[in-house]
Amino acid sequence: MTESKVWKFKAVIPPRIAEAGEVEVEENVTSSTHFIPRRPQSTANGGRKAPRPHSIGATIISNPKLDGEVADADSDNGECEKFNKEIKAVVEKKNVNPCKKYIGILLTLVASGALALSSICVKVIPGYHPYSVSVWTFQGILLPSLIVLLFSCLIKKENVIKLSKPIEDLEVDRYSNGKKSEGGQWKTFGFVLMRACFGAGGVVLKCYSLQYMEVADSTIIAFSSPVFVAIAAWIFLRERVGIVTFLTAIVVLVGVGVIARPPILTGEKSFDTNQLIGTAMAISCMLLGVFTVIILRYICHVHYAFINFVYGVVGTVGSLLLCFFVGQGKFQFPENGHDWFLAGSIAGLTFMGINLFTLALKYEQAGTFALIRTSEIVFTFLWQFIFLNIKPDQLSIIGALIVVLGVIIITGRKWIEMQSPNHKARKCFGFLLK
């Protein structure tokens, strides 16, 4: 007789009538046993009482003749666990509200439209230096993050300023090349400051680029960042990439070159100076965004409210210093009600977009999120036509299609990489993993 184990079935098992010579044993008995549901019991009025479902209240019937069969079954607990998981997955799938699976997509679409509209407001507001506009933008990050920070500290009693990594002694930091992470707080705080500086620099450069080029062109260049994030993650975080990633990066660079409108495509004798300056600033903004994402991956253990608060403080202080020492020598307040409305809209839409993106990631997978995120390009074209009466030309559309194609390839590659080797998508599109 083999070593006995207790079986834990969570599925309904067809009843079996006890045969002669079998002894009934109550549940939770440790023996070589075969589980069957308890037979219906008679009630006082002559009726039948249904047995309790699953293993709760089940009767275990011991039969020496079945010991060999039970021994074989005991040696294959993996199949039992797999069966239980499948049953649990089916039950959970039936209990899920069908509308919930679209919440993440809806939130991503609304957030993309809000951020695209904030860029239109930056473009529309007249006669203000980009540094002053940056200060207004950062208020949509600083003030809400301060409220969340105080709420987390005072109400939820969370330690939001904890900078050390929560890694156990036996765990290894995946970004440390197999070495145990020290979790230095000063080092982490340094990365938080770097993220704030890179993010603030990106906002200022985007505001500058909008002074020289159309909103849609600047947004398209910014959305080429996922391709270069994959390459930067290979360099700094030692994540795996393949030849497809580098080829996609080259294709995306071609799309950015189309947006720059070289003379060979426009038929002009030279580059458009404003378009060239705007493209250079948009590319710089995109590269700063790439490093921002890499740093955020490294400091993902830090509370998001603290990261955003530092980001808002550094951005506000840095933009004010640039106003006084590099710009016009002073910070410009909105001069009338119309400008106050636009300034408030910039801050409010920025706040709305960032927080809706955070909520969307709680309901949707990162791959789907990244694909839906590219809808901001479509929203930018739409808002630009509605509010500025600017129709996209052929070069903008071609450049946008090339960049979006690159983002789809990189996102699809990441999704396929996460699937099992026997998955149908991995068999059909496995060449993307090369």
pLDDT tens string 249-298: 888 888 888 888 888 887 787 888 888 898 999 999 988 988 888 888 78
What pLDDT shows up at residue 59? 43
- pLDDT at residue 336 tops 70: yes
Judged on CB neighbours under 10 Å (0-12, 13-18, 19+), 94 is exposed
Cβ proximity of 200 and 138 under 8 Å: yes
Judged on CB neighbours under 10 Å (0-12, 13-18, 19+), 130 is buried
- pLDDT at residue 359 tops 50: yes
Between 12 and 99, the higher pLDDT residue: 99
Compute the distance between CA of residue 266 and CA of residue 22 in angstroms, rounded to an integer.
91
Region of 46 please: left (phi>0), alpha (psi -120 to 50) or beta.
left
Nearest to 328 by CA among 138, 133, 160: 133
What pLDDT shows up at residue 198? 92
What pLDDT shows up at residue 66? 46
Between 413 and 57, the higher pLDDT residue: 413
Nearest to 316 by CA among 126, 123, 117, 143: 143
pLDDT digits (tens, 9 = 90+) for 189-236: 888 999 899 989 998 898 888 888 888 888 888 878 878 888 887 888
Indicate the SS3 state at residue 421.
coil
Between 346 and 7, the higher pLDDT residue: 346
Query: Is the C-alpha dihedral spanning 185, 190, 191, 195 positive or negative?
Result: positive
Q: How confident is the model at residue 117 (pLDDT cuts 50, 70, 90)?
A: very high
What pLDDT shows up at residue 80? 60
Q: What is the mean pLDDT of the chain?
A: 75
Region of 178 please: left (phi>0), alpha (psi -120 to 50) or beta.
left
What pLDDT shows up at residue 335? 86
Compute the distance between CA of residue 325 and CA of residue 320 in angstroms, rounded to an integer.
9
Compute the distance between CA of residue 344 and CA of residue 331 in angstroms, rounded to an integer.
16
**Worst-scoring range by mean pLDDT, 163-167, 253-257, 275-279, 397-401?**
163-167
Pairing of strands 23-25, 34-36: unpaired
- pLDDT at residue 358 tops 60: yes
What pLDDT shows up at residue 232? 82
Nearest to 107 by CA among 395, 427, 363: 363
- pLDDT at residue 323 tops 80: yes
Take residue 117 and report the two structure tokens written for it: 């509209």
Give the CA count within 13 Å in the CB-facing half-sphere of 250. 4
What pLDDT shows up at residue 89? 58
Compute the distance between CA of residue 409 and CA of residue 347 in angstroms, rounded to an integer.
33
Q: Helix crossing, 215-222 with 243-259: angle to 10°?
A: 170
Q: What is the mean pLDDT of residues 298-309?
A: 83
- pLDDT at residue 78 tops 80: no
Q: Which helix (H) or strand (E) holds 157?
A: none
What pLDDT shows up at residue 227? 80
CA angle 187-192-193, nearest 5°?
95
Give the CA count within 13 Å in the CB-facing half-sphere of 421. 0
Nearest to 199 by CA among 355, 354, 391: 354
Between 282 and 86, the higher pLDDT residue: 282
Compute the distance between CA of residue 257 and CA of residue 248 in angstroms, rounded to an integer.
14
Nearest to 290 by CA among 160, 199, 424: 199
Judged on CB neighbours under 10 Å (0-12, 13-18, 19+), 82 is exposed
Residue spans of the domains in the chain: they are 23-95, 106-433
Indicate the SS3 state at residue 42.
strand
Query: Looking at beta carbons, which pairs linking 413-420 to residues 24 or more positions away fall under 8 Å?
Result: 413/242, 413/244, 413/245, 414/230, 414/366, 414/367, 415/367, 418/367
Cβ proximity of 171 and 165 under 8 Å: no
- pLDDT at residue 44 tops 60: no
- CA 52 to chain CA mean position, Å: 43
Indicate the SS3 state at residue 259.
helix
Q: What is the mean pLDDT of residues 140-150?
A: 87
Compute the distance between CA of residue 221 and CA of residue 403 in angstroms, rounded to an integer.
8
What pLDDT shows up at residue 422? 82
Q: What is the mean pLDDT of residues 402-410?
A: 85
